[in-house]
Amino acid sequence: MKIGVFDSGLGGLVITKAFVEHLPEYDYVYYGDTKNLPYGEKTSEQVLAYTIEAIKFLIKQNCGLIIIACNTATSIALRYLQQKFIPSYAPDVKVLGVVIPTVEEALEDNAKRIGILATQATVNSHIYQQELLKLNPNLDVFEIASPELVPAIENNDFATAYKFAEQYAKRFDNINSLILGCTHYPLIKTKLREVCKDGIKIVSQDELMGKKLADYLNRHIEIDICLSRNKEIKVLVSHNNDHYKEVAKSLFPNISIEEVLTDA
């Protein structure tokens, strides 16, 4: 069985690279639903449908452990997948998200005031606020949606992304930690660290998910022993173009990107 990684676009490739750097011996299948991005502006019904289709596709790719790298899909679909869909469709498959590990990381330094920068759908779900307050009911949590960032990053328009990053940073002037609640945002984390107020910890998922996955596999030997170890990586998307090829090649120089049909 392989490790599957799903995202609404190519942002999750940054997370996949973190997995490969921490656990290079495993086999990975990455699927980016580039045809339907951005998820952050879609309805919950649309996101759920796209995510179920993606999970079915990765299961057909022989993935026994699937990580939903997309924060929007995690916030809308993960609970349904874990509690309803997977138990009946593929009970031996495990599906994980990125929110809980991120929340745990944000609270490591005893932060009292935490900011969330995320897509509109993720902010509307309040999933980060809910999970943070479960662990510390006395926290002050500030959520801001940033709908401009994902399209700019996917279109390789970093000048626009940086402009909006600077604007949003000014709105987080009295926090201890800032959670980057979208897998695209690690691509602008350097800019955010530059423009955010000194002393604010930037919690970027690419910097924590590798060690979190390693810890999960150490604690779940029954899953780990079922995973293949041939150091193979496959990158698949629902729509391909030259820019996507360039992004994939910048992260994985020796891997080609393939367009696939995912109708399950």
CA distance 29 to 27: 7
- The reply to whether omega before 38 is within 30° of 0 (cis) is yes
Which candidate in 63, 182, 196, 226 is catalytic?
182
- The reply to whether omega before 24 is within 30° of 0 (cis) is no
CB 239 within 8 A of CB 259: yes
Q: Assess whether 70 carries a catalytic annotation.
A: yes
pLDDT at 264: 46
3-class SS at 112? Answer: coil
Over the stretch 50-108, which tens digit does the pLDDT of each residue have? Answer: 999 999 999 999 999 999 999 999 999 999 999 999 999 999 999 999 999 999 999 98
Q: Which domains does the chain have, with CATH numbers?
A: 2-97+208-259 (3.40.50.1860), 100-205 (3.40.50.1860)
Least confident of 101-115, 127-141, 188-202, 240-254: 240-254
Q: Which two tokens stand for residue 26?
A: 């495993």
Q: Assess whether 63 carries a catalytic annotation.
A: no
pLDDT at 247: 83
Enumerate residues 6+ apart whose C-beta is below 8 A from 173. Answer: 197
CA distance 149 to 127: 20
Q: Full-prediction pTM beyond 0.75? A: yes
Is residue 263's pLDDT more than 80? no
Q: What is the mean pLDDT of the chain?
A: 94
